Amino acid sequence: MAIRKHDLVVDRNMIRHIDYTMPKLKYAVSFRKIIRWLENFESHDVRLAIDFLFFLEYIDTAELTFRMNEQLKYALKEIPEDYNILIFPGVATYPKSTEVISYILKDTPIYKARQRKDRLCIITRDLLNSLIINEDTAVIFFDDFVGSGKSFEKGYDTKTGYKASLDSLPFIKQRFLVSSVCMEQGRSFINSKYPEIEIKSEFREKIFNSATSPFKISNNISQMKRFAVSYGKTIPTTQNPPFNTPLGFDQSESLVAFNHTTPNNTLPIIWGSANWYPIFPRFATEKMMQSKEIKKEVAYYFGIMNRLGIDLYTDESIIVKGAREIKYNSFTDHALLCVMKLQLDGYEMPSICQLLGITISEYKTIINYGKTKKIIGQLGKINSKGIEFYSELMKKVRSKRFIKKDKLQFEMKHVNYMPKSFGGKS
């Protein structure tokens, strides 16, 4: 259970400092969640903690799609058009996050363009059985993030034996590794051990590197490193000695988070969950805890809706005057309200699927259902009508006298901080 070091005093000055981090984090976390994360630290350390959020490289789905498209484009430019191309995850196991990257790659313009060529270009989960014997082939391994390079080592060589198999096939002409971010530590490791692999990625140095650290701006690199180690060593991150990795796995000193996951190479003060409240959770158990709270909250909203006569779907009015007969309690209705809430909280498709325990296909079904009810727009995002409904629902929930005092307090704690600008728009 996460322990609060203090109760944060939220004054105008604190609001201003937190507000500065929101655009950098692409409004992916709510104001109240940032406050709760800051309460992990002693009160005199809060300002330093905020600096870590400001320099965190947060990559949402749109940014991840852009980066993967760019890096895949660079790889494809070097592959002759008469080569077959197999695109395969560069990891030893096939986690859900790999499914997300596969989905994103399939949606990139450069992949779709190459598929229209005469030769084979596919994303596969069965590398060796997808090969066409004696036809020149390039293999592209992919991952969202490369830290120390050790995960790729397992996925390419020691745990799978793919390297040995590919080495024995003379028609395998090129091998690439594509990712959105690759730490210089990982590039150095892979280049030295597997020179046949060409890496296409954005490269990052360790966050406390004396020559490149963003903390050079405030001239406190050493202080920030001591800060990360001091708190990080109190967060258990492994089941084996040394049990904690205050600078990230293999001393990677990464400060990167994604919409769908956070690498263990990132400083654990960002993602740790043992005796700690994470700002960007890594583990499925932590996401499941969030999911339970969200579903409980939405179920509570539906109870209020039915009691107040608030109608979710109507062309004339968001709030129906008078009595109504239909009560919305189906799974799809609950799921749609969950999606609306999470979109307003800044979550995107991959994280929403993880939080609600649904597939991408199920998510699309819910979105299409919302479109038919005219509260989800054509781009799959909550529209002005949906926002109006949600706003009215919150007002009604907070204003009715019959709500118990403890329920009212619970609801007030979950009021979202709404910035004056969102995604660069006012």
Contacts 24+ apart (CB under 8 A), 310-314: 310/392, 310/393, 310/396, 312/337, 312/373, 312/375, 312/389, 313/373, 313/374, 313/375
Element (H, E) at 257: strand 256-258
Rounded to an integer, what distance in angstroms lies between the CA atom of residue 104 and that of residue 85? Answer: 17
Reduced to 3 states, what is the DSSP secondary structure of residue 138? strand
Confidence at residue 171, expressed as pLDDT on a 0 to 100 scale: 96
User: Of 198, 153, 205, whose CA–CA distance to 179 is shortest?
Assistant: 198
User: Of 378, 353, 417, whose CA–CA distance to 22 is shortest?
Assistant: 417
Q: Which residue has the tokens 């191309």?
A: 85
Q: What is the pTM for the complete model shown?
A: 0.72
3-state secondary structure 345-356: CCCCHHHHHHHH
Give CA angle at 260 (255, 266), nearest 5°. Answer: 20
DSSP 210-229: TTT-GGGGGT-HHHHHHHHH
Confidence at residue 322, expressed as pLDDT on a 0 to 100 scale: 43
pLDDT in tens, the chain (426 residues): 678 888 998 888 999 999 989 988 988 888 888 999 999 999 999 999 999 999 999 998 889 999 999 999 999 999 999 999 999 998 766 555 677 888 889 989 999 999 877 789 999 989 999 998 899 999 999 999 999 999 999 999 999 999 999 999 999 999 999 999 999 999 999 999 999 999 999 999 999 999 999 999 889 999 999 999 999 999 999 877 778 999 999 999 999 999 888 999 999 999 998 889 999 988 655 555 555 565 565 665 556 555 545 555 443 333 334 444 444 445 677 778 878 888 887 778 877 776 676 777 788 888 998 898 888 998 899 999 888 888 877 776 666 544 444 443 333 334 343 444 444 444
Q: Quick count: other Cβ atoms within 10 Å of Cβ 98?
A: 19
Rounded to an integer, what distance in angstroms lies between the CA atom of residue 425 and that of residue 316? Answer: 28
Map out the domains of the chain with their CATH numbers: 12-55+213-271 (no CATH), 62-204 (3.40.50), 284-413 (no CATH)
Q: Quick count: other Cβ atoms within 10 Å of Cβ 392?
A: 14
Confidence at residue 413, expressed as pLDDT on a 0 to 100 scale: 38
